[in-house]
Amino acid sequence: MSMFSPRNALFLTLCSTPCLAVTACTDDAQPADGGSEDAGQDPHATFTVDFDATTICGAAIDRVEFATRRRDCFDPELPCTMPANPPWITGTSVDCSDIAGSMNWEVEVTQTGKYETQLRAFAGDTQEGIHCFAAGGEPRTKVANVDLEMFATFAVTEVDDSECDNP
C-alpha cells in the first residue's frame, strides 16, 4: 500500500485543519514589541503646537517648557473644588541651547476639564514669560471624556497672553 493513498491524504487534511485554525487566529496586527498601540496606556488627550521658541530664548532665558493646568470642571460641569493655584503638568521641556527653530511641543492630560496651556520661559527656576495657547477659539481648551477615551490630539494655537495667568 502506498504511503500517499487518498485515505491517508484525507486523514492528514482532517487532522491538520485544527492546527491551521489555531494559527489563523493569531493577532498579526500587534506591533513587534507585543502590545497594541494604546495597550497599557491610561486614557489621555494631547495638546500639540509647532512653535519657534528661539524668539523666547534670550540672555536671561535658559529653558522653555510646554505646560498646562486644569482650571475648571468640564464633562460633567458639576460643582467642583479647584485649588486656587492648580499644579502644572509639564510636557516638552527644552534647554534654549538645544532649540534650533520651529519644533513640536506636546503635553498630555488625563482628566476632563478646561485647561490653560502655556509655553513658559525660565531663567533658572524663575518663570520669566509666557505664550498662551488653546484650541476651539476659546481661552481654555475643553477636554471631555470622549477625548480621553479616543486619545484625542488638540492642535492648539496662540491666544492673547492676557487670557493666561502670569507669574
Mean pLDDT of each 10-residue bin along the chain, 167 residues long = 46 41 34 46 96 91 97 86 92 96 97 96 92 93 97 96 77
Q: What is the pLDDT of residue 166?
A: 67
Asked whether residue 2 is domain-assigned, the answer is no
Q: What is the pLDDT of residue 137?
A: 85
Asked whether residue 57 is domain-assigned, the answer is yes
Asked whether residue 103 is domain-assigned, the answer is yes
Q: What is the pLDDT of residue 67?
A: 98
Q: Which domain holds residue 96?
A: 45-163
Instruction: Determine the Cα–Cα distance for residues 109 and 45; give it in Å rounded to an integer.
Output: 5
Asked whether residue 102 is domain-assigned, the answer is yes
List Cβ neighbours of 70 (8 Å cut-off, separation of 6 or more).
82, 86, 109, 111, 113, 114, 115
Asked whether residue 88 is domain-assigned, the answer is yes
Q: What is the pLDDT of residue 21?
A: 38
**What is this structure's pTM?**
0.74
- Structurally, how many domains does the chain consist of? 1
